[in-house]
Structure 1
Amino acid sequence: MDRGIVIFDGDCGLCNGFVRWLMRVDRHGRFAIAPNADEVGRAALEVVGVPWGLTSDTLVVIIRGTPLLRSAAVLGVLRELSRPWRVMAGAGRLVPRRLRDAMYDAVARRRKVLSGRVRACRVADADERRRWSARLATVQDLEALAVAARTS
């Protein structure tokens, strides 16, 4: 199974909160995760042609070789999950992309304030460390990504 890859700012509490949420709701392991400073995360960005510097301001999600940014990344994740998330993605797509991205950007600009209570450096419990380790993007994920990027 080709997994999508979520590339996130590992120093951002809001981004880490999103990934923690994803680990809870993605029961079928549809997504691998890669911090943007990680070697695999950087390589994945290179494969799909997304500049690394972009990841300090936006979540990047790669699904079937296609990079998604900003609100499209969030909706892409929701669309790949089961109900009710898939339904929310459908509703979200009814909102014009320009407006969705403006809302995404407003949250991104305030992410340090908004995530003040969610510390990126908090110590994860053993179960959470196990789940995150199992979901880290691998070389095999990169190989599948390269094949998908060539065929899309």
Structure 2
Amino acid sequence: MTDASAIILFDGVCNLCNGFVQFVIRHDAAGRFRFAALQSAAGQALLRQHQLPTPAEPDSVVLLTNGQAYTHSAAALGILHGLGGGWRWLARLGWVFPRPLRDAVYRLIARYRYRWFGRQDACWLPTPELRARFL
């Protein structure tokens, strides 16, 4: 599902989202994914380019790949699939469940993510080594 120029848009102040980005970085040895916070100018421009809403409070990770935009559970599963290896198998298992059910669980977690995992006052900044992978 992902190509060499796949972009992940994430909530830059969400601790859960930042943890997920760091997880992807650790497991993306090929460097397939690039990243942008949804709150950043680059993130906002990409949302507009793909005709996606630009809410004040982001509620979904977004995967942009092959000219398509994926949100909610489809984005999360697409990212896992793009990591390859055992993560691809986990993504395939996730695709077994109907999208309405997957998205309902995703939205429940998204609704309470700040309460359960916390939030930062500002977007997470990548290390100098990782800066090239961020837009």
| TM band (smaller chain) | 0.7 to 0.9
The residue aligned with 2:90 is 88
What CA distance in whole angstroms lies between the structure 1 residues aligned with 2:35 and 2:106?
20
Q: Deviations over 1:126-145 (max 9, x none)?
A: xx6134312113xxxxxxxx
Superposition map of 1:1-152 within 5 A = 2-53=4-55, 56-116=58-118, 120=120, 129-137=127-135
Runs of 5+ consecutive residues of structure 1 not aligned to the other structure: 138-152
Amino acid paired to 1:130:
P
* 8 A Cα contact 1:71 1:97, kept in partner: yes
Moved over 6 A (4+): none
Total equivalences in the alignment: 132
Could you tell me which runs of 5 or more consecutive residues in structure 2 were left unpaired when the two chains were aligned. none
Of structures 1 and 2, the larger Rg is shown by 1
Higher share of residues assigned helix? 1
- State the partner residue of 1:150: none
Which TM-score applies when normalising by structure 1? 0.78
Contact 2:15 2:114 in 1 (8 A): yes
1:13 aligned partner, one-letter code: N
RMSD, aligned α-carbons: 2.2
Q: Percent identity?
A: 37
- Asked whether the 8 Å contact 2:12–2:18 carries over to 1, the reply is yes
